[in-house]
A and B are shown apart, each in its own frame.
Chain A
Amino acid sequence: MKRNFFLYIGAIIVGIYFLFPLYVLVLLAFNKPEYTVLTLYPSLFLQAPTLNNLITALQGNAFIDPFMKSLETATLVGLITIALAIPAGYGLSRISRSIAYPILVLLLVTNMMPGIVIGIPIAVDFIKLGLFETVEGLALAQTLITLPLATFILQGTFSAIPRDIEYQARIDGAGLFHRLFSVLLPLAAPGIAAAFLISWMFSWDEFTYAVLLMPYHSTLPVTIYIDVTRGNILAGIAFSLVFTIPVIILTFALQKYLKGEYLAGGLKG
């Protein structure tokens, strides 16, 4: 009994730490400004909640433009990622581990390169190539973050599909592309969907490449940063709240794939 007491104390303290910032965000979004940003000691409770903050902020192009930019970029990142990760994941699942492992490590090492180091030379190159301030350019850069994890997930997915099914199709005369599209892809669909959605989510949240490669008419995270630091506070808060909702939903939908084993990547060996 005594041990459970400490367990609950610990759980409650940790729970408050994890929930408090979200609660603050809700207060900021739904309390009147008099109780939040306009007072020295903002209220810790919902006083006469209002929807006015949100309605004012979300009207007009100030919200729609960055929202559409984010949506386009994230979708394009998801598509580029699975276009590269499906063949790579399949190929890696069909060669011996001693060759596949160094290639996976190579992919994961790229995740360790700082975005700000890669982003600056890319920005200079993109200006020459006409990709600066474009959705395509930003998506190409953000795929760096998503490709390693997506490849890893799909390598696992394809490894789990019995080789016999493939041999059977081959004996029946199906070529490589036929086997990939009509036999393997349907079986791998859940893994592919997860890889797509995780990539979508990473791009949706991404800040460093966005602020370096698309500094002027940018995605939502950069817009929120500019709003909050340049005084347009209520808009920044409202955008933050709307921006967070799809990600929280996706996080819970994908909980199965956000396991330690995946996040630790091939480093486990």
Chain B
Amino acid sequence: MKLNTSFFLILPAVIYVLAFAFYPTAEAIYLSFKSPHGGFTLFYYKELFSTFDATKAIINTVIVTVGALALQLTIALIVASILTREFFGKRAFSTIVIIPMGVATVVAAVAFKFIFETSGGYANTILHSLFGLNVNWYQNSLMSLFTVILSDSWKNTPIVTLILLSGMTSIPKELYYAAAIDGAGPIRRFFYITLPNLRRFIGISLILRGVQEFNIFALPLILIGDHPPLLTTLIYNLYQTTFPEVGLALAGATVLVAFILVFIGIVLILSGR
């Protein structure tokens, strides 16, 4: 196969991606600095941070991202460790832990909306019958963000599990046997063999999921609207209220892109590549 023909075949996909991903992103950044009269302006950014309190939205987004990543990695490590063992009921278990992948984000959000309600709801039914409690899950912004983290982790832990599992199965069994003979217990084996060997896979899941956490949109929109706002729900709100004037929304979008680039940079450095 000549090189030229191959490039000719790849070209349509590359052109498509440039036209539908890179061009609009560049357009978004360009338009966010362009005043209606044509010149350069920082007006939209000043508005964004003074009137619309983008700082709070940024802090909330970081809280959700860090919280959701921590929770997903923890659960995924537990589930993947369980799945590397042989036990009765393993097939059923491995089916159950992959189910959320097949449930649309919107549907997951609907289910969690009825689990966590301002008063009552399914979570409160359990708490009420056991302890006589009734918790308002949205009484402050931290609690609201916590419900978002919990719901998002339900939906997205399976992907992290699958990535970590493919990492765990690639670790040679001999390492564990050798460590066991040298007297290392299961906990030390986990911290000194499993974790170091999983480093790259953890890095991959952090990048993949982290970027998606910054972009998290449908779930908070349905669960909490924009109280408190995340970057995405703030952008969407600005877009809806100011359309067809999109300068403000695009300034928010540019901030989001900047955060994602910084995040990818940090993870790449930390995972040693």
A258 within 8 A of B: yes
Closest residue of chain B to A85, judged by CB? B13
Q: Which 8 A-B pairs have the closest CB atoms?
A: A251-B102, A260-B166, A91-B9, A88-B13, A40-B120, A87-B9, A110-B21, A21-B111
State in angstroms the CA–CA spacing of A28 and B253 once bound together.
37
Binds A, one of B47-55, B77-85, B173-181: B77-85
A189 within 8 A of B: no
Residues 118-137 of A at the B interface (beta carbon under 8 Å):
118, 120-122, 124-125, 127
Say which residue of A24, A125, A166, A225 sits within 8 Å of B218 (CB atoms).
A225
- Interface contact B257-A87, CB-CB below 8 Å: no
Residues 169-211 of B at the A interface (beta carbon under 8 Å):
186, 200-201, 204-205, 207-208, 211
Bits for A85-122, please: 1 = Cβ < 8 Å to B, else 0: 10110111011000000010011001011111110111
B221: chain A residues at CB < 8 Å are 225
Interface of B toward A, CB cutoff 8 Å: 1, 3, 5-10, 12-14, 16-17, 20-22, 24-25, 27-28, 31, 75, 78-79, 82, 85, 87, 89, 93, 95-108, 110-115, 119-122, 124-126, 128-129, 154, 159, 162-167, 186, 200-201, 204-205, 207-208, 211, 214-215, 217-218, 221-222, 225, 232, 235-236, 239, 244, 246, 249-250, 253-254, 256-257, 260, 264
- Interface contact A91-B93, CB-CB below 8 Å: no
Main secondary structure of the interface of A (DSSP, over half): helix
- Interface contact A114-B256, CB-CB below 8 Å: yes
- A21-B115, A84-B12, A225-B222 are contacts. A121–B27 as well, Cβ < 8 Å? yes
A252 within 8 A of B: yes
State in angstroms the CA–CA spacing of A246 and B25 once bound together.
33
Shortest beta-carbon distance from A210 to chain B in Å: 10
- Interface contact B10-A117, CB-CB below 8 Å: no
- Interface contact A18-B100, CB-CB below 8 Å: yes
Closest residue of chain B to A170, judged by CB? B1
B105: chain A residues at CB < 8 Å are 205, 207, 221
List 9 additional A-B contacts (Cβ < 8 Å) besides A118-B20, A207-B218. A21-B103, A24-B122, A41-B124, A110-B21, A140-B20, A248-B99, A251-B99, A258-B162, A265-B208
Say which residue of A147, A255, A265, A267 sits within 8 Å of B16 (CB atoms).
A147
- Interface contact B82-A11, CB-CB below 8 Å: yes
State in angstroms the CA–CA spacing of A87 and B17 once bound together.
15
A228 within 8 A of B: yes
Interface centre among B1, B89, B102, B115 (most CB of A within 10 A): B102
State in angstroms the CA–CA spacing of A112 and B201 once bound together.
18
State in angstroms the CA–CA spacing of A127 and B207 once bound together.
34
Closest residue of chain A to B27, judged by CB? A121
- Interface contact B106-A116, CB-CB below 8 Å: no
Shortest beta-carbon distance from B76 to chain A in Å: 10
State in angstroms the CA–CA spacing of A213 and B98 once bound together.
31
B108: chain A residues at CB < 8 Å are 21
- Interface contact B246-A244, CB-CB below 8 Å: no
Say which residue of B3, B28, B204, B217 sits within 8 Å of A120 (CB atoms).
B28
- Interface contact B28-A42, CB-CB below 8 Å: no
- Interface contact A22-B111, CB-CB below 8 Å: yes
Closest residue of chain B to A115, judged by CB? B215
A103: chain B residues at CB < 8 Å are 10, 14
